[in-house]
Structure 1
Amino acid sequence: MAASRILPLAVPEIISYPHISYALSVVSLAPEGVDWVFSNYVQLCMLDHGSTVEMRYFIPNADLFPFPGLFGTQHIRRDWILHYCPSFVDFVRFSIDREFYVWTFVDEYYIPGTRSYRNQSFEHSIMIHGYDDERREFHISGYLESQRYMQSTLAYDAAELGFTEMRVPENHYANNTHLLTRSVNGYEFKTHWIMEQLTDYGRARPSDVRMEIFEERKECPYYWGIGVIDGLQEKLRQHMSGETFVDHRPFFILLEHKKTMNRRIAYMAEHGHFVFSDAVRDGYREIESKAQTIMNLELKYLMTRENRYLTQMIERLGGLREAEAQTIEQMLAQYERHDQRRKEG
């Protein structure tokens, strides 16, 4: 019988970035990992590079820092694999047999189902979590059809070509392959930490000053927390005047942030961590709806290039900011009253 092995994957809460979704699909296999996910991913920041903007969740990345539920991340340079392994396929099979998930980069020109397949060279990441020798295919997760996060399969031959034929500069991040493996180290849900992050978010305060070791030298303007909405409004105004171009990605992350907040509120109530009022729950559902409308307007703009949609987005972003600021203040006040009662008695 031909050999096969498939490591389990969870559906990640965050799918806007590969470096987040791949790690979370492993971390979230354990209940303690889900606790960790919902205790984090509250704070946002946005970098204004001038011609582009970059929206981030303010949290260390699994390719650089250990996460609860993972034994850190092993990094292997691409040229080491090419030099020391009989083939990339053999390297992956060897790794999976030892319970390592293989997070690597390939040239999508060779990867069926991607936008660049047989069209153009484009380096992008996939994570391989299983193999099947009889079918000669890997089980992968990645950003495939319409650049949506999904699970699929990939033929051995296509994976081999995608890895070996990729051409990037020597110091390029795509030259790194990361190996993830699960650990039993746990994590306790931290309601107080959520509220601290939410305080920074709601008051547009920078969070990197909490630990100077993570404080980057800023080469461009930063927006923090709810202030990212102000930044997006300003960039859209620049977009309308022809100074820059704002694509859909920051609006997708803004929407994802609201969806995750609603799931977090429900998770906290379900597991007995904290129950917010009906007004808060209704408020954040309405905030998510507002963010969805803004995302829809962005898609309409991309299809039509009509500036009236950008004007509507600027206006609706203002409404979103106002609603979210009000709801966050309610959340902080409710938690503060609860915490005070707990201390008193």
Structure 2
Amino acid sequence: MKKLLPVQMPLAYAYQFYAYPLTILANHAKASDWVLSHYVNVVYEHSWKTAPVPFAFYTYDYSQSPWLETLRLNREWCTSTPGRTIDDYVREAIDRDFYVYLTLNFRYIPDRIAYDRAQDYPHDIMIYGVDDQDGTYSVLGFDHEIMYRSTRLPQDDLLTAYTSMGSDPYYDVPFTMYRYNDRGEYTFDLRFVADSIEEYLESHNCSAHFQSLRDPWWDRAYGMATYDVLQSYLDEYHAGSVEYDIRNLQVLWEHKRMMVARLARCAELVPPVGDLVDPYKQVERQAWTLRTLMLAHAAGHKAGDFMTEAKPLLDGIRATEQRLLGRFVACLDEASPTAGRRRP
């Protein structure tokens, strides 16, 4: 068997749990309106020092999209049929055009930071190809150089990497299968986009929308309020009291990158929005510069006071974004007026 499902670099990829669905959808232009209608708000845990995902886009369920068929199995199910192994499930899934998202022990995954080390390191990964000729699976994720890209996993190592998790507790991603659903439907709604942007500007707790399904996350900052928490992280990093974690500034940049694409799409429908695209691209470049500054500082390539440059950059991003997104909402309000907001 030799089969490779398509993957494409997504707009956002700081965390693999949302990077993988976006990687699949990036291959299909018709899914773009759904992506750009979401990934608007962000959430930051006040207890960020101990949180596994301190700062990220807010999504109720990263795996759900009208353009994805999503199936989930647990480990009990995957080991309940005599004679069938994880290899059988993976091969059958890929043969049926499903991408496989699961947890493996990175001690047994080449080109990962924990490969061949003494400690177990369970982590999520996605398998998207099989090649019996060279005896490998194609996998995607952050490699040993912390680059989001494809590598090869010897087929003989999959079973060991799946079953040998060690004795420590870990977050076990269910055996999740994604398949692109070409029959999906989604209407790009300017009113919904405007409401979502306004929620971001007002730091609205968007998790409250899903209270019928799960308790809201009240102990977190949302939207513009996340800047204060991010500033706290940068202050403590500069003081040497917390470790370097580029994911925080990666998420900041990804949020601006996604917003540029959203503005460009809305400009196709509401021409005045076009005046905001280039100014907001400058916000995105400032976020990229801040991220690069931290990378250089952590690598020892940047001398001087980190916060002398970082704080004005972050303050400028916050102020300019608030002004531009306020104008964005006003443009959409004028193009799609309603008697009242949809949200509570």
Cα distance in 2 between the residues matched to 1:254 and 1:175: 25
Deviation at 1:311, TM superposition (A): 4.2
User: What TM-score comes out, normalization by structure 1 length?
Assistant: 0.86
Cα distance in 1 between the residues matched to 2:243 and 2:8: 35
Cα distance in 2 between the residues matched to 1:83 and 1:307: 59
Q: Aligned pair in 2 of structure 1 residues 244, 86: CA closer, same or farther (>3 Å)?
A: same
Q: Aligned pair in 2 of structure 1 residues 278, 135: CA closer, same or farther (>3 Å)?
A: same
Q: Aligned pair in 2 of structure 1 residues 165, 12: CA closer, same or farther (>3 Å)?
A: same
Cα distance in 2 between the residues matched to 1:310 and 1:160: 47
Q: Aligned pair in 2 of structure 1 residues 313, 90: CA closer, same or farther (>3 Å)?
A: same
Q: Report SS of the residue matched to 1:173.
A: coil
Deviation at 1:252, TM superposition (A): 0.6
Cα distance in 2 between the residues matched to 1:37 and 1:100: 20
Alignment check: 8 A CA contact 2:140 2:150 kept: yes
Q: Does 1:108 align with 2:103?
A: no
Counting only pairs closer than 5 Å after superposition, residues 324-335 of structure 1 correspond to structure 2 as 324-335=321-332
Cα distance in 1 between the residues matched to 2:7 and 2:295: 31
Q: Does 1:313 align with 2:310?
A: yes
Of the structure 1 ranges 172-181 and 329-338, higher mean CA displacement relative to structure 2 is found in 172-181
Cα distance in 2 between the residues matched to 1:252 and 1:230: 16
Q: Give the unaligned 5+ runs of structure 2.
A: 339-344
Of the structure 1 ranges 290-299 and 29-38, higher mean CA displacement relative to structure 2 is found in 29-38
Deviation at 1:321, TM superposition (A): 0.6
Q: Report SS of the residue matched to 1:213.
A: coil
Cα distance in 2 between the residues matched to 1:255 and 1:192: 25
Letter in structure 1 aligned against 2:285: S
Q: Aligned pair in 2 of structure 1 residues 59, 218: CA closer, same or farther (>3 Å)?
A: closer
Of the structure 1 ranges 295-304 and 226-235, higher mean CA displacement relative to structure 2 is found in 295-304
Letter in structure 2 aligned against 1:115: I
Q: Aligned pair in 2 of structure 1 residues 108, 29: CA closer, same or farther (>3 Å)?
A: same
Cα distance in 1 between the residues matched to 2:167 and 2:18: 23
Runs of 4+ in structure 1 over 6 Å off: none
Cα distance in 1 between the residues matched to 2:310 and 2:319: 14
Of the structure 1 ranges 154-163 and 205-214, higher mean CA displacement relative to structure 2 is found in 205-214
Q: Aligned pair in 2 of structure 1 residues 295, 68: CA closer, same or farther (>3 Å)?
A: same
Cα distance in 1 between the residues matched to 2:112 and 2:234: 29
Look up the match of 1:67.
65
Q: Report SS of the residue matched to 1:142.
A: strand
Q: Does 1:298 align with 2:294?
A: yes
Cα distance in 1 between the residues matched to 2:336 and 2:89: 52
Q: Aligned pair in 2 of structure 1 residues 193, 242: CA closer, same or farther (>3 Å)?
A: same
Residue 42 of structure 1 is aligned with which of 40, 43, 49? 40
Look up the match of 1:283.
279
User: What TM-score comes out, normalization by structure 2 length?
Assistant: 0.86
Q: Report SS of the residue matched to 2:113.
A: coil
Q: Aligned pair in 2 of structure 1 residues 214, 207: CA closer, same or farther (>3 Å)?
A: farther
Letter in structure 1 aligned against 2:318: R
Number of residue equivalences: 332
Alignment check: 8 A CA contact 1:20 1:61 kept: no
Q: Report SS of the residue matched to 1:147.
A: coil
